[in-house]
Amino acid sequence: MEFTVESLETPALTKAQLAELLFEQIGLNKRESKDMIDAFFDLIVARLIEGQDIKISGFGNFQIRTKAPRPGRNPRTGELIPIEARRVVTFHASSKLKEMIQGQAPQ
């Protein structure tokens, strides 16, 4: 089954558009489509909050990384500003996704 996003008017793919694609191409009703998309993203968010990595085969990995505190500088005034430690989400595309983006057929 192939998903197309040719009819999208905005450059970003939204959760509402994903739900609409499920409705149109798989045949789920609109409420089920929305609930499925919401549940999918809620699960990803919950796992990342817990500090677990998310691995989606053929797509990539989402990971939590802890950044250490460091000194920063206001570029306008040159004033030193401390930047506190924080957790950030990183995404690393899979090799299959990178190949598709480059226009190569996946192996």
Q: Considering the domain 53-107, what is its CATH architecture?
A: Irregular (4.10)
Pair 62, 91: CB distance under 8 Å: yes
Angle at 60 between CA 57 and CA 63, to 5 degrees: 120
Return the pLDDT at 27. Answer: 85
Q: 1-15, 46-60, 67-81: lowest mean pLDDT where?
A: 1-15
pLDDT band at residue 8 using 50, 70 and 90 as cut-offs? very low
Common-topology check for domains 11-52 and 53-107: yes
- For the chain, the domains span 11-52, 53-107
CA dist 22 and 42 (Å) reads: 17
Pair 37, 31: CB distance under 8 Å: no
What average pLDDT is seen over the chain? 88
Q: What is the DSSP string of 6-33?
A: TT--SSSPPHHHHHHHHHHHT---HHHH
CATH topology of domain 11-52: HU Protein; Chain A (4.10.520)
